[in-house]
Structure 1
Amino acid sequence: MRATPPIALTIAGSDSGGGAGIQADLKAFSALGTYGASVITAVTAQNTTAVTAVHEIPADVVAAQIKAVLSDLDVRAIKIGMLFSPAIIDAVARELESFDGHIVLDPVMIAKSGDALLQDAAITAMIDQMLPRATLLTPNLPEAARLLGATEGEEIEAQAHALLAKGPQAVLMKGGHGTGETCTDLLVTPDLPPLRLDAPRIDTRNTHGTGCTYSASIAAFLALGHTMPDAVTAAHAYLHEAIKRSDELQIGAGHGPVHHFHSLWDAHA
């Protein structure tokens, strides 16, 4: 007997340090029981302390990767991360015009190290071309503020509704950049009550790739057939445990990765 696992696709940048981007997405897909395919939009020279170089993949090559995957693989959900430039955003938007599965859009702008991963000129293209295609938009608080031209710290449910008005079917406001002992995420959709997800804030430096991992794990659960609220709830629990167990790993001198495979192998074994 041959298995046909659910397939999820990540469209994102490559992190040579393995903690974020394509690498984190594929780890999350695999850990959660889906087959991961990938389209690389940029190659970064990156580790746990800095991004030292970014090489943009030509837009036609990005488009060719998407064509190759979608023409052969039965992709049920797509996670989109680092898009970097207006040309890449245009190529991705055009290639996904006929895709009818879930699209989880993580509007990646700044790396954990503070380095830019989205050109300033690309923000308008992101809003106009990508937000209307998203089944779910997953901004952190700084990203939400930048997409709205607002001040960070404004009421997050109001910001979520303002983002919904720009076209996505749902918005997950991520509270990891907030303060206080509790980290609160908020899922807002047009026709359901807001879903609030609370978790104790974990004191660790190992948070590299949390946003990538969160959006990828949501895409994995959607590919597995979960509803949006259930997918977000399950991904929230998975990520929380991955962060909680991250200190079992000693990777690099800076912000280390979360433990994607915490349920599969013990770092201390």
Structure 2
Amino acid sequence: MAWDPAVYSAFAQPRLRPALDLMARIEPADAARVVDLGCGTGNVTRLLKERWAAADVVGVDSSPEMLATARGDGGGVRYLQADAAAWAENGGAVDILFSNAALHWLGDHRTLFPRLLGRVRPGGVLAVQMPHNHYAASHAVMAEAAAAGPWSEVLSPLAARFPVGEPSFYYDLLAGGSSHLDIWETEYLHVLEGDNPVVAWTRGTALRPLMDAVDGAWATGFLAEYARRIQAAYPPRPDGRTLFPFRRLFMVARKG
């Protein structure tokens, strides 16, 4: 799946806030090596470098398009093109393993998360944020639109994916290897502007696998059907803005 940095960055500020909230919950600690797993355009990676200036800070992402943007902005960070699941097996030891809005793209969290904690040195931190909004109208409407046309056989399986578990699931995976584990959820109320902005938001993230799976009339028809349904689910307010509630799951585990 190809990523478009410009489309993803259209909502850079509301997408940055959860990363800052996650970073704020990491207690001050010395760190020789910090890894940002799924670093995207590197805007958060550079903030990690500012906080842990003496550390070797590495941004890891599978998208060459995203990494080209990240490398263009410098900031004293090293970047590595690699699949996050493969890095979890072979990435070496780190003091802080940070991942913002990336790991929900990967499967088999039951295996993945203990493996990631295993990469963290004793006393170090695993800090993760993932969208947990897959039961909201933005995603339910995606499934409805996927089933509502000739494209249903191709798109319905993609729209039915619920990749993030409940907080208790991750507690059970991480508690045994952690000296301290903090898990919480936050629902942000994004105030968006523009015409049908929830469509523009999802086109940069959750809608991408579906749009990549079809082309031509099917792509046009599916997007129009989704946009029509989203407009009804998230109507503009009297002032013209659109309210978009979005729930996210956070966890900070200090390695025992």
Relative to the length of structure 1, the TM-score reads 0.33
Q: Which has the higher helix share?
A: 2
Larger Rg: 2
TM-score, length of structure 2 as denominator length: 0.34
